[in-house]
Amino acid sequence: MRREKRYYVYIMASKGRVLYVGVTGFLKARVLQHKACEVSGFTKRYKVARLVYFEAFRYVNNAIARETEIKKWRRGKKVALIEATNSTWEDLAADWGTAVTPITADSSLRSE
């Protein structure tokens, strides 16, 4: 069974709360690009690497329309949108891309 494609509008923030609004079809990959500063430009210059808000859409045209709408807003309205679901501005992708240490039978049997 094929999984339904999703498109995302997202807001990234720096520690100083500089904001960036974007749209993508691959949220995890795009956020990891921001975190790794792989793309030159605004987000790299201002170290905008914390995912603080996102919305999912079934159709790309709806996602693009929402991104355009949010980008036109004043900063205060964007902040209110973020704080409605993420009042502490936590990085929603803090653990994305981190290595996972597998637990083996040998390591769980040690008794020291």
Alpha helices per DSSP H over 1-112: 27-35, 42-45, 60-72, 75-85, 105-109
Please name each of the domains of the chain with its CATH number: 7-109 (3.40.1440.10)
Q: Are 17 and 52 in contact (CB under 8 A)?
A: no
Answer whether 0.75 is exceeded by the pTM: yes
Q: How do the residues of the chain divide into helix, strand and coil, expressed in percent and rounded to 5?
A: 40, 20, 45
Measured over the CA atoms of residue 75, residue 69, residue 85 and residue 96, the dihedral's sign is: negative
Per-residue pLDDT of the chain (112 residues; tens, 9 = 90+): 777 899 999 999 999 999 999 999 999 999 999 998 887 888 888 889 999 999 999 999 999 999 999 999 999 999 999 999 999 999 999 998 765 555 555 444 444 4
